[in-house]
Amino acid sequence: MNKKIIEATGLTRHFRVLERREGLSGAFKDLFSRNYRTVKAVDGVSFSVDRGEILGLIGPNGAGKSTTIKLLTGVLKPTAGGVTVDGFVPFSDRRRYVANIGVVLGQRSQLWWNLPVIESFKVLKEIYRVPDAVYERNLKLFNDLVDLKRHYHTPVRKLSLGQKSICDIAASFLHDPALIFLDEPTIGLDVSVKKNVRKIIRTLNRELGTTIIITTHDTGDIGNLCPRLILIDKGTIVYDGPTARFNKAFGSFRTLHLDMSDMGEDERGALEGRLAGCFPCREKISVREEGDGWVTLTLNQDEVPLLDVLNHCLKTCRVKDVKIEDISLEEVIIKSYEGALA
């Protein structure tokens, strides 16, 4: 068996989007001449995935993660380039191919809305022709992890978001798929349910050897689950490599949000120069105006202690409020383009 389960080369998907003109007269003009704009949702990505891997796909909103998933699951036809998954060409072989994969979409449920959960499982068992033994084993595996039985007879519409997510994941792997694609499975879930979801994914991967591709905005998902990640921005791959290296490059970065709305604009503007003078370091502390009086500083703790910078700001500026966060994905991308991961 081929060690590589996914091989994508130059995978591309463009959309032609109608630019609608504004207002009534615009709508009238649209009837006669239409303006199209091309969105390069996925623009020539190449990567491969090994059997049994857990791969995380991250990127800001609109980066092209979901479109990539749709190309990999055979729902969308690539504009150019190609991909093979487990020996299939997903779009052309869709019907045979999807029998071999599971898909979980955080925003949509594949369960029958008005029927008890178990009815959805039963119909999926028929659709995928799952042997009784496999079906029983997988349900048991699930029941040992999270107590699913108590939801069997509840209509799906009466489940909470978290309960539904868990049931959707269960539904996606009843047929022993070789791969499972999860597009933002933890969206909107609270911490304890997120933990359960991660536990389930890890167990499926370990016990059944299922290859997992997961997209998320939650860095916790990546840190806890994925030894490898791919960072996508504007349809292209910015980083593809070990999560550990990614964390080493960015783990010591912090963003410091300061509310300086009591200060004048020029006073705030002078801050960047002053910080550069006080804290000389290889990579200067970036300062960004948020427009509402808040200022965002991004700094690398390996080079300059966060507390010193904070103290300096508190002493020299009128600061009303402070928030400290990990580096944001947007900053990571800017820094990656500047060569932080090279």
Partner 1 sequence: MRRYAAIVRNMFLESLNFRADFIFMVLGNLVGVFLAYYLWRAVYAGSGGTLHGLGFLQAFAYVAVSGCIFTMIETWAEWDLAMSISRGDIVLRLHLPLDLHLTTLVESLGIFLTRLVFTGVPFLLLIIFAFGVPVAAGINLIFFTVSLFFSFLISFNIDFIVGVTAFSFESVLGLKLIKDAVILFLSGAVIPLAFFPEALRPVLMVLPFQAMYYTPVNLLLGEKSIPESVLMLLIQAGWIAAFMTAGRLFHRKILGKLTVSGG
For residues 340 and 249, the answer to whether their CB atoms sit within 8 Å is yes
Q: Is 270 in the site for partner 1 (CB under 8 A)?
A: no
- For residue 138, give the H/E element and its range: helix 132-145
Complex with ligand ATP: residue 64 or 177, whichever CB lies closer: 64
- Window 3-22: residues binding ligand ATP (CB under 6 A): 15, 17
Cβ closest to ligand ATP, residue 148 vs residue 332? 332
Paired strand residues for 105: 108, 183
State the amino acid at position 279 in one-letter form.
Answer: F
What are the angstrom distances between the C-alpha of 65 and each of 17, 43, 237, 319?
A: 18, 11, 10, 38
Count of residues binding ligand ATP (CB under 6 A)?
A: 12
Query: The dihedral of CA 212, 215, 219, 220: what is its sign?
Result: negative
152 binds partner 1 (CB under 8 A): no
Residue 61 interacting entry, from partner 1, ligand ATP, Mg ion, none, C-beta within 5 to 8 Å by type: ligand ATP
Window 58 to 97, contacts with partner 1 (CB under 8 A): 66-67, 69-70, 73-77, 94-97
Per rule CB under 5 A, is residue 66 in the interface with Mg ion?
A: yes
- Tokens representing 209? 């050897």
For residues 70 and 90, the answer to whether their CB atoms sit within 8 Å is no
Please say whether the beta carbons of 274 and 308 come within 8 A. Answer: no
74 binds, options partner 1, Mg ion, ligand ATP, none, Cβ within 5 to 8 A by partner type: partner 1
Buried b (16+ CB within 10 A) or exposed e, 148-165: beebeeeebeebeebbbb
**Closest distance to Mg ion from the beta carbon of 71 (Å):** 13
* Closest distance of CB 170 from ligand ATP, Å: 23
Distance CA 75, CA 292 (A): 42
When asked if residue 64 is in the footprint of ligand ATP (CB under 6 A), the reply is yes
* DSSP assignment string, 47-87: EEEETT-EEEEE-STTSSHHHHHHHHTTSS--SEEEEEETT
Q: Under the criterion CB under 6 A, does residue 219 sit at the interface with ligand ATP? A: no
Binding mask 159-188 for partner 1 (x = CB under 8 A): ------------------------x-----
Structure tokens at 302: 């390996």
Tokens of 289: 């105006």
Q: Any contact of residue 67 with ligand ATP (CB under 6 A)?
A: yes
Per-residue mark of binding to ligand ATP, 18-57 (x: CB under 6 A):
---------------------x-x----------------
Say how far residue 321 (Cα) sits from the centre of its chain. Answer: 30
Query: Which option in ligand ATP, Mg ion, partner 1, none does residue 96 bind, with CB closer than 5 to 8 A by kind?
Result: partner 1
**Which range in 122-130, 246-254, 272-280, 314-322 contacts partner 1 by CB under 8 A?**
122-130
**Footprint on residues 15-34 left by partner 1 (CB under 8 A):** 15
Is the Cβ–Cβ distance between 94 and 103 less than 8 Å? Answer: no
Among candidate residues 13, 49, 60, the one with its CA nearest the CA of residue 232: 60
Cα–Cα distance, 90 to 229 (Å, whole number): 22
Nearest-approach distance from CB 62 to Mg ion, in angstroms: 8
Count of residues touching partner 1 (by CB under 8 A):
34
- Residues near ligand ATP, by CB under 6 A: 15, 17, 39, 41, 59, 61-67
- Residues near partner 1, by CB under 8 A: 15, 66-67, 69-70, 73-77, 94-99, 103, 105, 107-108, 110, 112-115, 119-120, 122-123, 126-129, 183
